[in-house]
Amino acid sequence: MKKYRSRTNRIVRRIVFAALAVILVVCAVLFYRNVTATILSAVEEVMRARTTEAVNEAIYETLASEVRYDDLVEVVYSSAGEIRALTANSYEINRIARDCAYLSQKKLQERSEEGVTIPLGAFFGIDALVGTGPGVTISMIPVAVVTSRFTADFDSAGINQTRHSIYLEVASDLSVVLPGRTNRFTVTTQVLIAESVLVGDVPDTYLHANIFGGGYVAGATQ
């Protein structure tokens, strides 16, 4: 009888230990997921701000000298003074897009290597503690793909007049990689480069078409 009770007690203890182990593992996994999500959210917020700053710097450095509308687009008129065509300066447009994409990618890489400092309280996954405690610097494995391209808008500027606005748009696709978790997001920055008021009717073909091409991509593809 004693042997039977002893054996039963051992079985019960093993079941209890196994159950506790499972509970601890589950709690640890849930805790890790919660903490990782909190950290990724904080890292994304910082990286969005750094990305906007880096891209703006790259754009203004690329456009160190003033870019005029005539440097980018040639307006072709008929003998009667009507607008016949809008022709993009492919060489200049591709140069600016390429230089801006590469410079943006380089600056993003430099800022990513600095790491991101997160308050220690964020590691507990409790909202009330997120901004508390000393800072802990997290090293990241950043992956950035930068696409720069020209876009344009047409809008009325008066009777028989159309304003043609040209923008440089830089889209940064970022991946912040932490152990067991990856967060991907895109930051888009658009800057007005040049504009001109065109006198006469602009052919519909140009109002709804992108004469600047598909843009330029810098960085590793995913």
- Answer whether residue 83 shows pLDDT above 70: yes
What does the alpha-carbon distance between residue 98 and residue 104 come to, in Å, rounded to a whole number?
A: 10
Give the pLDDT of residue 138: 65
Domain boundaries, the chain: 2-218
Q: Which residues contact 47 (CB under 8 A, 6 or more apart)?
A: 112, 116, 142, 174, 176
The model's pTM: 0.72
- Alpha carbon dihedral 39, 41, 43, 49, in 10-degree steps, equals -160
Out of 13-27, 57-71, 137-151, 198-212, which region has the weakest mean confidence (pLDDT)? 13-27
Report the C-alpha gap between 190 and 169 in whole angstroms.
4
**pLDDT one-digit tens code per residue, 8-40:** 666 666 676 666 666 666 655 555 566 667 777
Q: What pLDDT, on a 0 to 100 scale, did the predictor assign at position 49? A: 86
Dihedral of CA atoms 5, 6, 10, 11 in degrees, nearest 10, equals: -30
Task: Please tell me the distance from the alpha carbon of residue 149 to that of residue 94, in angstroms, as a whole number.
Answer: 9
Residues 130-139 have a mean pLDDT of 64
What mean pLDDT do residues 56-77 have?
A: 87
Range scoring the smallest mean pLDDT among 37-41, 63-67, 99-103: 37-41
Which tokens sit at 126?
Answer: 């409790």
CA separation, residue 3 to residues 6, 7, 10, 12, 16 (Å): 5, 6, 11, 14, 20
Which of 8-17, 43-52, 139-148, 209-218 has the weakest average pLDDT? 8-17
At 222 the pLDDT is 43
